[in-house]
Amino acid sequence: METIKIIEKDIVSVNMDEPVLVDQAPGKPEDFPPYAVTEEAKRWGRYRMPKVYKMPDDTIALTYSMSIDHYCDQGRDSPLFVSGDGGKTWEKRPWPHPGLSGMHPVVSQVFGGEYYTIPSRGGIRLDGYEKSASAELKIGSLPFAAHRMSDYPKEVADWYKDIKAMRWSPAAGWTQENAVWDHEGQYIWSYDDKPQNIPGHWGQSLYFEHPVIRCGDELFIADYWTQYENADGSLPKNWGSYLMVSGDNARSWKRRSNITPEYVSAAEPALAQNHAGEFVCAIRSDSASLTGTAPTMYLMHSKDMGYTWDAPKPVLGYGVFPQLLQLENGIMALSYGRAPGTWVSFSPDGGYSWTKPYAILDEAGKASSCGYTSLLALGCDTFLLAYGDIHCKNREGEECKSILVKKITVRPL
């Protein structure tokens, strides 16, 4: 399989400011549900997965997950921190509308000066419902059962179709509305999380983990929470990532394409548009997939507005939750984590080649932080990177889960 070129020489100048602490877990043990008792559950629960973005008043917002790493807990409210000085200082505030307070929503500017998001909610427990024999998908070593939506009673299908979005408009402020999503060919997946001692088979509906891309009169986002049958009606053997498109300013969404072929197991897709007008998608792949390749990140390009995609190419080894950001100066940034540690790389040519990665956290030989990052452009050559660090110490010298931001400036040499 062809891989993406890694540039050995220095082609950019990179300046990273000192990290700014936004919030930190207490030194005492965290409170967990009684059934999530494993050390792995405690390691990934609370103070993780930060998101950073602009709000309608032009302040910078940051939020993160306070749930354990399971669908049963994802409806838990996330905190909101706000910065009015470019990320130098942060203040905790209440959410401006209760509909925004689901797990770490990502707000995007859409058309007409409006802002939009679909927050996460708690998952659905599916064991006990009538269903046919399932197919099995895998992400890495994790087995997921797949069933057609028609195998479940109407109340289950209605739960998946009841999608609450949040919209801000200059005239009305924040309001909640129903989003119309493409459910044609959707199947329902579920997971029995024995490793975390959590009872039941659970599924989850879609929510926005990334900002929306505006292009022409359409909006674009890559989704992997909704999974679809193949064109012939069969169930795929691997997890897919799908390009979803709205032509009515996020009131309804249709599936345009499967970004990844079936031989690649795709999760956590991030979408950007480079200066040539091409779409670039980065994904995490934990599975050895159908080709026997090792877990890695992949990049795909589309030159026709997402109708078709180039074959996926491995890039920079393994990483979780890759994030893409196209800067106005022509440089594209890619951040990712758990490699081990948290890293950022830069592309001068719209994602076709990348620099050797720069360390945000080098955790070689240490337990890894969550590795989830978020990027926000501050100017033509500057952006803010939000990340977590489980080795950051409090005033008493105790290592505590911490949420930080770092301002990074990158310029071509």
Nearest to 303 by CA among 324, 274, 332: 274
Mean pLDDT in residue range 306-323: 96
At residue 290, does pLDDT exceed 60?
A: no
When mean pLDDT is compared across 11-15, 106-110, 163-167, 229-233, the lowest value belongs to: 229-233
At residue 291, does pLDDT exceed 70?
A: no
What pLDDT shows up at residue 89?
Answer: 98
Mean pLDDT in residue range 344-353: 98
The tokens 């986002």 sit on which residue?
221
What pLDDT shows up at residue 195?
Answer: 75
- d(Cα 250, Cα 165) in Å, to the nearest integer? 9
What pLDDT shows up at residue 127?
Answer: 87
With cut-offs at 50, 70 and 90, classify the pLDDT of residue 138.
low
CB neighbour class for 245 (10 Å; exposed up to 12, middle 13-18, buried from 19): buried
Residue pLDDT, tens place only, 163-196: 999 999 999 999 999 999 999 999 999 988 877 7
Residues in the chain: 413
Q: What angle do CA 56, 57, 63 make, to 5 degrees?
A: 70
pTM of the model: 0.95
At residue 140, does pLDDT exceed 60?
A: no
Amino acid in position 253: W
- d(Cα 343, Cα 357) in Å, to the nearest integer? 6
With cut-offs at 50, 70 and 90, classify the pLDDT of residue 289.
low
What pLDDT shows up at residue 237?
Answer: 81
What pLDDT shows up at residue 136?
Answer: 72
At residue 102, does pLDDT exceed 70?
A: yes
Amino acid in position 361: L
3-state secondary structure the chain: CCCCEEECCCCEEEEECCCEEEEECCCCCCCCCCCCCCHHHHHHCCCEEEEEEECCCCCEEEEEECCCCCHHHCCCCCCEEEECCCCCCCEEECCCCHHHCCCCCCCEECCCCCEEECCCCCCEECCCCCCCCCEEEEECCEEEEEEEHHHCCHHHHHHHHCEEEEEEECCCEEEEEEEECCCCCEEEEEEECHHHCCCCEEECCCCCCCCCEEECCEEEEEECCCEECCCCCCCCCCCCCEEEEECCCCCECEEEEECCCCCCCCEEEEEEECCCCCEEEEEEECCCCCCCCCCEEEEEEECCCCCCCCCCEEECCCCEEEEEEECCCCCEEEEEECCCCEEEEEECCCCCEEECCEEEECCCCCCCCCCCCEEEECCCCEEEEEEEECCCECCCCCECCEEEEEEEEEEEC
- d(Cα 224, Cα 227) in Å, to the nearest integer? 6
Nearest to 2 by CA among 314, 356, 302, 299: 314
Please name the fold of domain 5-412: Neuraminidase (2.120.10)
Nearest to 388 by CA among 91, 62, 134, 140: 62
What pLDDT shows up at residue 365?
Answer: 94
Q: Any idea where the domains of the chain sit in the sequence?
A: 5-412
